[in-house]
Chain A
Amino acid sequence: MPLQDYRPMMERCSNCLNCRWVPFDKLKSLRFGENCPSVCYYGFGTYSARGRFQLGQSVLDGEVDESEAVGDIIHSCLACGACDVSCKVCRYNLEPLAHNLALKEEAVSRGWVKPAHRAIMEGLRTEQTMLPGRRKADRTAWQEGLGLKDVFQEKAEVLFFPGCKYAYEEDLREKTRGMVRLLKKAGVDLGVLGSAEACCGGRAADMGYADEARERVAANCRACGKAGVTTVVTPCADCLHAFKRQYAEAGATFEVLHVTEYLERLVATGALALPGRIPMTVTYHDPCKLGRQGEPYEAWNGVEKKIRNQIHTWDPKRPRYNGAYGVYDAPRRLLEAIDGVRLVEMERIREYSWCCGASGGCEAAEPEFSAWTASERVTEARATGAAAIATACPWCKGRLGTAVDENGDAMPVVDIVDLVLQAAGEVQA
């Protein structure tokens, strides 16, 4: 939906500031009570979802044409969606996250772009990856020797889609291979897109590059359709979100599961055993795209309708993405299934989790802000007494793993898959 279509929302946002805090019912302290990294870091209310609604209105009205900062402000949103959840505790007719993304798209269309994003988008256009400097030709190197089916050649029950990070990064590649071995050992009929594998496009959408994102969605949808894919499993939270929401919106009908969901199913049915013991206290960081944004897509094509004179509703009823049905329990159940692992929770969890700072293009364009966001999370994790942070997204793991807490101390960060591979005896600790 283009920015101008959000004008009613811009003018109906009433500045309650719920968008700056975790849902108040869940507030446990002042220290870890806020939810929007952007307004916390930059300070001005402009950076909150409410500020962005007003900024959007000013952009449409031509009131900020002389602003030097407007592009920087717009792109400083992590697109984490924490504001969206808190807003919708009370409001049924505002969409802060969707608006923030439309504002980014508008900024890109006006040429208000971040220099750091140019290189990333160039890589996406030419090499079909969000990791600048990586070549398309190297993308499938991780598959070598695994005996994976090419889904264009033969049917497979499950398409394994690793995403850019797991496909390219050397320190993750062996883990990707371990995951595949483990799934195959559990009897899963796995296939891959082979040389057609490319970026999902989700992160481009979060940066406001909607055309590029749509191009990736269309290409991957075509490929999956041609291959007759029915189930996609991915270890990347960003890919999961893109497949589950943007691909579904584009007409894809396949089932999409995060690898933790799939592994948890295998453990629950006894297809996968985790005999190893890992004596470790961990706290779990909910990735935004797996958690609050990991809800299933619901198709909708409707219009606003007023009832009782002035009450706004939608006709037909509009899907209300508010984090209620995100993926929260499967990763936790998987952790609890590992002998010796003890899970302790941070203050901000599940739908009101604090972002790691890696999303929205901020890690590249606003590295200090991104690092501060991650630092806040590590500080919060440290307060639980856990020995490590467990997460379920390579972007979160990377971001948190290079951060330090408010005292300058780092904390080990593990992917849940690391622990599962270890407990299953696939790798040594």
Chain B
Amino acid sequence: MNRMPDAVYREFEAVVGRRNISRDPAVLETYRAIPAQSSDHRGPHEGKTPMPQAVILPGSTEEVQGVVRLCNRYGIQFKAATTFWSVMGYIGSEASVQLDLRRMRTFEIDARNQVAVLEPYVIGGAIQAEAMKVGLTLNIPGVGCSSSVVASTAGWVGFGPTSISMGCASENMLGAEWVLPSGEILRTGSLGAGAGWFCGEGPGPSLRGILRGKQGTAGSFGVCTRMAVRLHPWPGPAAIPTRGTVPAYKASLPDNFKAYTLCFPTWEAYADAIRLFHENDVLFLGHRQFNMFGRDIKAAMIRILNDPDLQLADLPALCEDPYLKEQNEKMKIDIQVILAGQTARDTDYKEMAVDRILEITGGWKSEMMLDKELADWVLLYLIRMGHKNLNYVLCGAYEGNFGLSSNVYVSASVMEEASDLKRKWEEQGTAIAAVGGDSDMGSICIMGGGGSTGWEFFTHFDAYEKASTRGTAEFFNATQAWMNEKGLGVDMGKWNQSARRPDGFYFSQAEQDAMFEKLPQPLVTEYQFKVREAFNPNDLCGSYYRTLDPNRASRRRNEG
């Protein structure tokens, strides 16, 4: 790897200060994503991402701008990240610098207008705690409360358990301040018209669609340095009162909060119930959470997580416990829901609505999860979303696959077949953890108010054991083949296979062209090529922003 010339390094140093830049190998090595960091949606992989030329910690929008301008001057690629949950946040070429925005951590809450203005290092859990002090909260997406709100809102899909009542990232993003890949500063929405942060679109530049679209550009469109997000009413105390012994903390919330695990006799009934929840404004939060451990072990895992003296070594015995086996069977098709009544009458309505929906669909509340201690654990777990790292608890690595986002009736109709396919791989090989096939962790709402759902099977594997990694990749090939056969599109575990190469590097334009010219709708990526030319003329932000050179596409069309 060519080292950055000393003179160039000193120019970066002059922007952020000596203390906030490093090219020491010991620092650089720790800014490479490793295989255990698997939630990149490009399937299990074996190598590290490339080593950056330098790691830079800017402390302000102006410093970010200074760094980006230097990158443009010297043709150096850059990527900004803050909480580094996904490999998407890492650089993908050796001629790159990594920006770590952890010094940018200010926030303001405008309670009257229900708006929070955040810098990138403000994580979901922190701003939730701050917002609750003034009777508000926010949608914490599936990535969990440990992640940057700015990153989740600007960079990726951003739905989560509370999306049914609060919407998704694209709906909660208001005014934003971006350092474009060219180094210019763009202020979007009302902010761009000097009218404050309250609106994501006009008055002012209505470029939310360009900058993040529906899915987000995975940090490949410059650097979002400040953003306003919508806050929502919180009908609870100014702080979540907690009790219990680590790690089995529980919330002590008032009676207007209820946590239930709702169970259904069939997937059809499950789909009907979710449709009814979408239609009737019942839920504060809805999510299929604990099934991520797997259909055969979830009751045992819930027991382990609620007892400070239990651990994974206790799993075999607990899985043989007749009571827990019975609970697994009863919770085979389940979701977790939280009701949060704004008034006593509202609480009564929501309780009655849940009961009525269960009556209509033949469903029931899990008795095990009605236990006060467990219900209070669920309340804390799902409201704070502070246990995201349990995704990794079984094997140290996981990737979500299948991952259809659709009308719930579509996903529900194929759920058992998908489970059977996974169970077959669990039983016939050893690459993936055997948890009972179905390990779907599904958001019952991926757009505000409902109408669409997501489902994602957590496939747990060991990134330390190459045979496990490779076997899991083969399993993903099998699930993709099944998805193709069913006409269900790209497996979630492969969504980003067109964004970063298996060796961790970005794709070149020629490689992207070769992929995207075969797409059924190539005009989208051709359009994005033109957008990139306008906003990112030196192509410095990597291949997560998918582009197809229109000239190449045109030649191809002419040849065809």
> What is the interface of chain A, defined by CB distance below 8 A to chain B?
7-8, 11-18, 21, 23-30, 33, 43-46, 50-51, 54-55, 57-58, 63-64, 66-70, 73, 85, 87-93, 305-318, 320, 322-324, 351
- B379: shortest Cβ distance to chain A, in Å? 11
Task: Report whether A55 and B388 are in contact in the complex, using a CB–CB cutoff of 8 Å.
Answer: no
- Please count how many residues in chain B sit with their CB below 8 Å of the partner chain's CB atoms: 83
Contact of A70 among B26, B31, B130 (CB under 8 A): B26
B55 contacts which chain A residues (CB < 8 A)?
A: 44
How long is the Cα–Cα vector from A50 to B31 in the complex, in angstroms? 11
Task: Report whether B83 and A17 are in contact in the complex, using a CB–CB cutoff of 8 Å.
Answer: yes
Task: Report whether B432 and A310 are in contact in the complex, using a CB–CB cutoff of 8 Å.
Answer: yes
1/0 per position for B388-432, CB-CB distance to A under 8 A? 111111111100000000000000000000000000001001111
A23 contacts which chain B residues (CB < 8 A)?
A: 246-247, 249, 386
Contact of A89 among B247, B297, B392, B396 (CB under 8 A): B247
Task: Report whether B390 and A90 are in contact in the complex, using a CB–CB cutoff of 8 Å.
Answer: yes
Task: Report whether B126 and A29 are in contact in the complex, using a CB–CB cutoff of 8 Å.
Answer: yes
B31 contacts which chain A residues (CB < 8 A)?
A: 45-46
Contact of A30 among B83, B85, B126, B388 (CB under 8 A): B126
B189 contacts which chain A residues (CB < 8 A)?
A: none
Contact of A322 among B247, B389, B393, B396 (CB under 8 A): B247
Task: Report whether A308 and B297 are in contact in the complex, using a CB–CB cutoff of 8 Å.
Answer: yes
Task: Report whether A21 and B125 are in contact in the complex, using a CB–CB cutoff of 8 Å.
Answer: yes
Which of A50, A88, A90 has the most B CB atoms < 10 Å from its CB?
Answer: A90
How long is the Cα–Cα vector from A27 to B312 in the complex, in angstroms? 26
Task: Report whether A90 and B316 are in contact in the complex, using a CB–CB cutoff of 8 Å.
Answer: no
Task: Report whether B29 and A64 are in contact in the complex, using a CB–CB cutoff of 8 Å.
Answer: yes
How long is the Cα–Cα vector from A313 to B310 in the complex, in angstroms? 12
Task: Report whether B36 and A307 are in contact in the complex, using a CB–CB cutoff of 8 Å.
Answer: no
Task: Report whether B433 and A44 are in contact in the complex, using a CB–CB cutoff of 8 Å.
Answer: no
Whether A309 touches B27, Cβ cut-off 8 Å, given contacts A16-B85, A27-B125, is no
Task: Report whether B468 and A18 are in contact in the complex, using a CB–CB cutoff of 8 Å.
Answer: no
How long is the Cα–Cα vector from A307 to B33 in the complex, in angstroms? 27
Contact of B25 among A67, A87, A315, A351 (CB under 8 A): A67
- A68: shortest Cβ distance to chain B, in Å? 6
Kindly list 14 other residue pairs between chains A and B, CB separation below 8 angstroms, not including A11-B35, A44-B100, A54-B29. Answer: A14-B396, A15-B36, A15-B84, A23-B247, A24-B145, A26-B249, A73-B27, A88-B247, A92-B311, A93-B312, A309-B430, A310-B462, A314-B313, A351-B246
Whether A43 touches B460, Cβ cut-off 8 Å, given contacts A16-B392, A69-B22, A69-B24, is no
Task: Report whether A44 and B22 are in contact in the complex, using a CB–CB cutoff of 8 Å.
Answer: yes
How long is the Cα–Cα vector from A308 to B394 in the complex, in angstroms? 10
B246 contacts which chain A residues (CB < 8 A)?
A: 23, 85, 88-89, 322-324, 351
Task: Report whether A12 and B435 are in contact in the complex, using a CB–CB cutoff of 8 Å.
Answer: no
1/0 per position for B148-161, CB-CB distance to A under 8 A? 00000000000000
B389 contacts which chain A residues (CB < 8 A)?
A: 14, 16, 18, 87, 89-91
How long is the Cα–Cα vector from A30 to B149 in the complex, in angstroms? 13
- A363: shortest Cβ distance to chain B, in Å? 21
B33 contacts which chain A residues (CB < 8 A)?
A: 15
Task: Report whether B126 and A33 are in contact in the complex, using a CB–CB cutoff of 8 Å.
Answer: yes
Task: Report whether B247 and A12 are in contact in the complex, using a CB–CB cutoff of 8 Å.
Answer: no
B239 contacts which chain A residues (CB < 8 A)?
A: 28
Instruction: Kindly specify which of B102-110, B275-283, B355-363 makes contact with the partner chain.
Output: B102-110
Residue of B nearest to A74 (CB): B26
B316 contacts which chain A residues (CB < 8 A)?
A: 307
How long is the Cα–Cα vector from A323 to B249 in the complex, in angstroms? 13
B105 contacts which chain A residues (CB < 8 A)?
A: 30
Task: Report whether B313 and A18 are in contact in the complex, using a CB–CB cutoff of 8 Å.
Answer: no
- What are 29 inter-chain pairs, A to B, with CB distance below 8 A? A13-B396, A15-B37, A15-B84, A15-B85, A16-B85, A16-B144, A18-B146, A24-B145, A24-B146, A24-B384, A27-B129, A27-B386, A29-B130, A43-B100, A45-B84, A46-B27, A54-B29, A54-B34, A90-B387, A306-B462, A308-B315, A309-B430, A309-B433, A310-B465, A311-B312, A311-B395, A311-B433, A313-B312, A324-B246
B36 contacts which chain A residues (CB < 8 A)?
A: 11-15
- B534: shortest Cβ distance to chain A, in Å? 33
How long is the Cα–Cα vector from A333 to B434 in the complex, in angstroms? 47
Contact of A91 among B102, B393, B435 (CB under 8 A): B393
- B62: shortest Cβ distance to chain A, in Å? 18
How long is the Cα–Cα vector from A312 to B311 in the complex, in angstroms? 11
1/0 per position for B529-546, CB-CB distance to A under 8 A? 000000000000000000
How long is the Cα–Cα vector from A63 to B25 in the complex, in angstroms? 8
Q: Sorted from nearest, which 4 A-B pairs have the closest CB atoms?
A: A24-B386, A12-B396, A90-B389, A30-B126
Task: Report whether B247 and A14 are in contact in the complex, using a CB–CB cutoff of 8 Å.
Answer: no
Task: Report whether A14 and B313 are in contact in the complex, using a CB–CB cutoff of 8 Å.
Answer: no
Q: Is B455 part of the contact surface with A, judged by Cβ < 8 Å?
A: no
Residue of B nearest to A7 (CB): B464
Q: Is B245 part of the contact surface with A, judged by Cβ < 8 Å?
A: yes
Task: Report whether A25 and B386 are in contact in the complex, using a CB–CB cutoff of 8 Å.
Answer: yes
Task: Report whether B312 and A69 are in contact in the complex, using a CB–CB cutoff of 8 Å.
Answer: no
How long is the Cα–Cα vector from A18 to B386 in the complex, in angstroms? 9
How long is the Cα–Cα vector from A314 to B127 in the complex, in angstroms? 38
1/0 per position for B431-464, CB-CB distance to A under 8 A? 1111100000000000000000000000011111
- B34: shortest Cβ distance to chain A, in Å? 7
Contact of A312 among B29, B391, B395 (CB under 8 A): B395
- B424: shortest Cβ distance to chain A, in Å? 13
Q: Is B95 part of the contact surface with A, judged by Cβ < 8 Å?
A: no
How long is the Cα–Cα vector from A129 to B246 in the complex, in angstroms? 35
Whether A308 touches B434, Cβ cut-off 8 Å, given contacts A18-B146, A24-B146, A89-B387, is yes
How long is the Cα–Cα vector from A43 to B83 in the complex, in angstroms? 13
Whether A309 touches B29, Cβ cut-off 8 Å, given contacts A29-B126, A33-B126, A322-B246, is no
Contact of A45 among B30, B107, B395 (CB under 8 A): B30
Task: Report whether B313 and A316 are in contact in the complex, using a CB–CB cutoff of 8 Å.
Answer: yes
B313 contacts which chain A residues (CB < 8 A)?
A: 305, 313-318
- B405: shortest Cβ distance to chain A, in Å? 24
B429 contacts which chain A residues (CB < 8 A)?
A: 309
Residue of A nearest to B39 (CB): A14
A324 contacts which chain B residues (CB < 8 A)?
A: 245-247, 308
Task: Report whether A68 and B462 are in contact in the complex, using a CB–CB cutoff of 8 Å.
Answer: no
How long is the Cα–Cα vector from A91 to B398 in the complex, in angstroms? 13
Q: Which of B83-98 contact A (CB under 8 A)?
A: 83-85
How long is the Cα–Cα vector from A320 to B304 in the complex, in angstroms? 13
Task: Report whether A310 and B431 are in contact in the complex, using a CB–CB cutoff of 8 Å.
Answer: yes
How long is the Cα–Cα vector from A63 to B27 in the complex, in angstroms? 11
- B457: shortest Cβ distance to chain A, in Å? 15
How long is the Cα–Cα vector from A45 to B32 in the complex, in angstroms? 11
A69 contacts which chain B residues (CB < 8 A)?
A: 22, 24, 26-27
How long is the Cα–Cα vector from A29 to B122 in the complex, in angstroms? 10
Q: Is B19 part of the contact surface with A, judged by Cβ < 8 Å?
A: yes
Task: Report whether B314 and A310 are in contact in the complex, using a CB–CB cutoff of 8 Å.
Answer: no
A85 contacts which chain B residues (CB < 8 A)?
A: 246
A67 contacts which chain B residues (CB < 8 A)?
A: 24-26
- A403: shortest Cβ distance to chain B, in Å? 21
- B67: shortest Cβ distance to chain A, in Å? 15
Residue of B nearest to A44 (CB): B27
Task: Report whether A21 and B397 are in contact in the complex, using a CB–CB cutoff of 8 Å.
Answer: no
Task: Report whether A92 and B393 are in contact in the complex, using a CB–CB cutoff of 8 Å.
Answer: yes
B129 contacts which chain A residues (CB < 8 A)?
A: 27-30, 33
Task: Report whether A309 and B431 are in contact in the complex, using a CB–CB cutoff of 8 Å.
Answer: yes
Q: Is B20 part of the contact surface with A, judged by Cβ < 8 Å?
A: yes
Task: Report whether B29 and A63 are in contact in the complex, using a CB–CB cutoff of 8 Å.
Answer: yes
Task: Report whether A311 and B460 are in contact in the complex, using a CB–CB cutoff of 8 Å.
Answer: yes
Task: Report whether B388 and A16 are in contact in the complex, using a CB–CB cutoff of 8 Å.
Answer: yes
Task: Report whether A25 and B249 are in contact in the complex, using a CB–CB cutoff of 8 Å.
Answer: yes
- B398: shortest Cβ distance to chain A, in Å? 8
Q: Is B492 part of the contact surface with A, judged by Cβ < 8 Å?
A: no
Contact of B26 among A27, A46, A88, A320 (CB under 8 A): A46
Task: Report whether A310 and B30 are in contact in the complex, using a CB–CB cutoff of 8 Å.
Answer: no
Task: Report whether A44 and B430 are in contact in the complex, using a CB–CB cutoff of 8 Å.
Answer: no
B32 contacts which chain A residues (CB < 8 A)?
A: 54
Residue of A nearest to B22 (CB): A44
A25 contacts which chain B residues (CB < 8 A)?
A: 240, 242, 249, 251, 380, 384, 386
